[in-house]
């Protein structure tokens, strides 16, 4: 999957960062982390997913169920699937995510 990154070459570093920012790469990295280092995965991903989900559910519980309930959260790609799974188990559907880049620097 990964090619060596030449830290002295800006293009090499930029390319590696852009690769890491793709959803498929993040999913693969999270899967590898879960399988090879489950305790670290638990601390870095799973426990944080649970904490963030509980925070979102707390905010949602403050809103009347008769009206559409909305809450906006900005989370890293590594947390998106875990949070969406937990929200679905609690009876909430995730809205489609907006485009990854809303604006781009010139």
Compute the average pLDDT of residues 73-87.
92
Q: Which of 96 and 88 is assigned the larger pLDDT?
A: 88
Q: Which of 52 and 92 is assigned the larger pLDDT?
A: 52
Q: Greatest CA span in the chain, whole angstroms? A: 57
pLDDT the model gives residue 48? 97
Q: What is the pLDDT of residues 38-79, one digit of tens each?
A: 999 999 999 999 999 999 999 988 877 777 778 888 898 899
Rounded to 5 degrees, φ, ψ at 73 are: -135, 140
């Amino acid at each position: 999957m990964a090619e060596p990154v030449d830290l002295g070459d800006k293009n090499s570093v930029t390319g590696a960062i852009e690769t890491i920012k793709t959803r498929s790469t993040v999913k693969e990295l999270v899967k590898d982390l879960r399988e090879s280092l489950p305790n670290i995965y638990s601390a870095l991903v799973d426990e944080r997913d649970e904490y963030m989900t509980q925070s979102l559910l707390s905010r949602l519980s403050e809103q009347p169920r008769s009206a559409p309930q909305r809450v906006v959260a900005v989370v890293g790609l590594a947390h998106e699937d875990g949070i969406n799974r937990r929200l679905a188990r609690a009876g909430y559907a995730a809205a489609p995510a907006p485009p990854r880049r809303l604006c781009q620097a010139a």
